Amino acid sequence: MGTGMNRFKMISITILAILGVIIILQNMETVETQLLFFTIPMPRAVLLMVTTLIGFALGVLVSFFFQRKEQTKELPK
């Protein structure tokens, strides 16, 4: 049973990697992004990657916060 799940994970990762490459290749044109007082020209693919990484990092931080909050509730007093 474990082998089927590993195969599913590998296929899923491969499909996501291929989709990621397609998205990057289709979004190579330069866009200007305003960040506070700065205007930063960068490829759209880089902008997508940066915003995705920021969202991922925020999701990890929030999950750690709630996980830690639940652990402190479970401690006996």
Q: What is the pLDDT along the chain (77 residues), one digit of tens a residue?
A: 568 888 998 999 999 989 988 988 898 899 999 988 999 999 998 898 888 899 999 999 998 888 877 777 666 65
Q: Where are the beta strands (DSSP E) in the chain?
A: 30-35, 38-43
Cα separation of 68 and 51, whole Å?
Answer: 26
Give pLDDT, residue 65.
84
What are the residues whose beta carbons fall under 8 Å from the beta carbon of 66, sequence distance 6 or more?
none
- Write the single-letter amino acid at 23: I
Domain ranges of the chain: 2-74
Q: What share of the chain is helix, strand, coil (3-state, %, to 5)?
A: 75, 15, 10
Token digits of residue 62: 């929030």
pTM exceeds 0.85: no
